[in-house]
């Protein structure tokens, strides 16, 4: 299940830390503005304090750094997906004998075999070739391109929320229930990532 995907968890964790830091910066700015409103300090003193803190630059730097961290995890995951998608003789399962020995398989049997090997792209290719050669159409599972597209969509959501953490998307990323509802849409495509090494 995608909720257990360590890459997605790590990227969300980075985004949440970024949102928290942004709110700390904005909290400092609000404290200074409140002091002006309560006439505890003058606007001139407030502007000097704001200039010293350079809150806008701090927020911008933090956002850029957080986006860089999230993008790094995204890029590592993409490389793992590409590695997973490379054909390998080591991944050929003994079930391939069913296809080589021309055992007459039905489309349903091929689909079941495809499900059994859904995380093995080498076997997926062999099963699909057999299926297409026997005019049964494409059996297929999720491709690396589909996985990368889904991953990039989640990454864009997480990096976008750093600039607009107060809107709907901000709430969706922060609230675990909303977040789970959102990422569940990608469960079929990305899953828990178990077919790919989870070492970052």
Q: What is the pLDDT of residues 74-90, one digit of tens each?
A: 999 999 999 888 877 87
**Buried-state track 37-65, b at ≥16 Cβ within 10 A, e below 16:** eeeebeeeebeebeeeeebeebbeebbee
DSSP character at residue 41: S
Name the pTM for this structure: 0.78
Domain ranges, residue 74? 2-86+148-190
Examine the domain organization and report whether 15 and 78 are in the same domain.
yes
Confirm whether 121 is domain-assigned. yes
Is pLDDT above 80 for 127?
yes
- Tell me, rounded to whole angstroms, the distance of Cα 21 from its chain centroid: 21
Count of domains forming the chain: 2
């Amino acid at each position: 299940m995608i909720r257990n995907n360590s890459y997605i968890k790590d990227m969300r964790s980075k985004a949440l830390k970024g949102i928290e830091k942004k709110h700390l910066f904005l909290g400092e700015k609000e404290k200074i503005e409140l002091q002006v409103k309560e006439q505890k300090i003058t606007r001139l003193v407030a502007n000097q304090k704001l200039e010293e803190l350079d809150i806008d630059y701090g927020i911008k730097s933090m956002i850029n750094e957080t986006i860089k961290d999230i993008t790094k995890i995204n890029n590592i995951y993409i490389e793992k997906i590409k590695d997973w998608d490379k054909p390998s003789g080591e991944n050929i399962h003994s079930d391939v004998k069913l296809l080589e020995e021309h055992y007459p398989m039905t489309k349903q049997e091929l689909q079941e075999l495809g499900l059994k090997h859904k995380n093995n792209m080498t076997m997926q290719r062999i099963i699909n070739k057999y299926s297409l050669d026997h005019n049964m159409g494409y059996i297929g599972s999720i491709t690396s391109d589909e996985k990368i597209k889904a991953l990039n969509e989640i990454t864009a959501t997480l990096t976008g929320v750093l600039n607009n953490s107060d809107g709907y998307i901000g709430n969706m990323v922060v609230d675990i229930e909303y977040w789970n509802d959102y990422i569940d849409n990608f469960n079929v495509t990305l899953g828990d990532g178990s077919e790919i090494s989870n070492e970052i």
